């Protein structure tokens, strides 16, 4: 088990090193930011001053060393577009994305497990069939179309919910939250559903499959023979054993929720890091792109690592086997 953990940690560090190299290469190979930042009417003196200010006059190796050193401290220099420190911009945008991701993740988890159990227990019922069919359509619908559809129904036609932005936010010690105001909560509804829907169908299908598998087992049949009530069998015995793969997949999906937030944030003009990243690509704002890449890879690698280690904590069978981590 220890060998496995060491191997896993080493792999995570390797991923971070590779993404770090990619992020740095973006600086050295992509375009001339000075071209982008200064307008048509520029003098050579302007160009030189800006190059020096951005540290672009230094040799490759010096820039690389500086990059590694700075990145470790969370410093990615100035945004080419806004001329402000990237770390400040990210810190200001991050709460919006994390709140959105947390709410959608929770929604996906609760909805997914709830519907999954329902469709597994009432396998032949009409309700279960309707849900399964809807989930198929939901998987085929691109995220941005779901967002547009929700905006059309609830903002344009019904006028119930706002179609863009975050509403009013309250600032608590550098963290802006939309949870505390009515308009903030209202603004959160549509984006959270848009972002959570796909993950919810995934979790639902997984829970359903696992549940059907478990319900077929001998110990469930034995529990029935003992005369336990359906409720106790379904929830205390069956559900418990479906949760291991569900936790793994949910954990891994957390990463893609943050990535897919890019799409949702663009549809709803949600002022988070995803929207920032898309704008950075459009304007070739390399420092922002690089910083986003590093931030998201730290998150992904961290989540994957935690999930893998949790696997051992949750499933005692893996601990006894020791090396049998072959999932």
Partner 1 sequence: MSDHQAEIETRRTPGRLARAWDSDLAYSFRHAPVAMVSAAVVLILVLSALLAPWIAPYDPFDPGSLNLMNGFTPPGQPNAFTQETFVLGTDDQGRDVFSTILFGMRISLFVGFSAVLLAMVIGVVLGLLAGYLGGWVESVIMRVADIQLTFPAILVAMLIFGIAKGITPPAYRDQMAIWVLILAIGLSDWVQFARVVRGATLVEKSRDYVQAARLVGRRPFSIMIRHILPNVLNPVLVIATISLALAIIAEATLSFLGVGAPPTKPSLGTLIRIGQGFMFSGEWWILLFPALTLLALALSINLLGDWLRDALNPRLR
Among 96, 280, 294, 307, binds partner 1 (CB under 8 A): 280
Rg of the chain, C-alpha, whole Å: 24
CB of 240 to partner 1, least distance (A): 29
CA torsion sign for 151, 156, 158, 160 is: positive
265/315 with CB nearer partner 1: 265
Q: How many CB atoms lie within 10 A of CB 320?
A: 9
Output the smallest distance, CB 55 to partner 1, in A. 18
* Residue 263 CB neighbour total at 10 angstroms: 19
State yes or no: residue 40 binds partner 1 (CB under 8 A): no
Mapped onto helix, strand or coil, the DSSP state of residue 18 is helix
What residues from 152 to 211 belong to the interface with partner 1 (CB under 8 A)?
152, 156, 163
Contacts (Cβ under 8 Å, ≥6 apart) of 264: 100, 143, 147, 191, 194, 195, 270, 274
Does 82 bind partner 1 (CB under 8 A)? Our answer is no
Q: Which CB sits closer to partner 1, 13 or 232?
A: 13
| Window 124-153: contact mask with partner 1 (x via CB under 8 A) | -------------x--xxxxxx--x--xx-
Euclidean distance between CA atoms 117 and 121, whole angstroms: 6
The distance from CA 136 to its chain's CA centroid, rounded to whole angstroms, is: 22
Binding interface with partner 1 (CB under 8 A): 11, 14-15, 18-19, 22, 26, 29-31, 35, 137, 140-145, 148, 151-152, 156, 163, 255-256, 259-260, 262-263, 266, 277-278, 280-282, 284, 286, 289, 293, 296-297, 300-301, 304
């Amino acid at each position: 088990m220890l060998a496995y953990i060491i191997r896993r940690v080493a792999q995570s560090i390797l991923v971070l090193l590779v993404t770090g190299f990619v992020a740095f290469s973006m600086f050295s190979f992509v375009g001339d930011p000075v071209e982008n930042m200064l307008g048509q009417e520029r003098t050579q003196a302007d160009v030189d001053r800006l190059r020096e200010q951005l540290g672009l006059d230094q040799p490759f190796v010096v820039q690389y060393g500086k990059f590694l050193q700075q990145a470790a401290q969370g410093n990615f220099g100035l945004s080419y577009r806004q001329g402000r420190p990237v770390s400040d911009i990210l810190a200001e945008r991050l709460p919006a994305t994390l709140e959105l991701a947390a709410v959608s993740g929770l929604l996906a988890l609760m909805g997914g497990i709830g519907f999954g159990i329902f469709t597994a227990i009432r396998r032949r019922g009409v309700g279960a069939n309707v849900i399964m069919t809807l989930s198929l359509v939901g998987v085929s619908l691109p995220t941005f179309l779901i967002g547009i559809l929700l905006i059309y129904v609830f903002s344009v036609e019904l006028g119930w919910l706002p179609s863009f932005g975050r509403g009013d936010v309250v600032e608590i010690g550098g963290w802006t939250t939309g949870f505390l105001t009515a308009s903030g909560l209202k603004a959160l509804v549509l984006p959270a559903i848009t972002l959570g829907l796909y993950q919810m169908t995934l979790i639902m299908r997984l829970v359903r499959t696992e549940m059907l598998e478990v319900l077929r087992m001998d110990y469930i049949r034995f529990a029935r023979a003992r005369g336990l009530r359906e409720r106790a069998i379904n929830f205390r015995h069956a559900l418990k054993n479906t949760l291991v793969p569900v936790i793994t997949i949910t954990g891994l999906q957390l990463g893609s929720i943050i990535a897919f937030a890019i799409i949702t944030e663009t549809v709803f003009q949600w002022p988070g890091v995803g929207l920032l990243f898309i704008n950075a690509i459009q304007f070739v704002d390399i420092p922002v792109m690089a910083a986003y890449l590093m931030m998201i890879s730290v998150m992904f690698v961290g989540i994957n690592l935690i999930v893998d280690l949790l696997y051992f904590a949750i499933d005692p069978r893996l601990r006894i086997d020791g090396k049998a981590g072959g999932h």
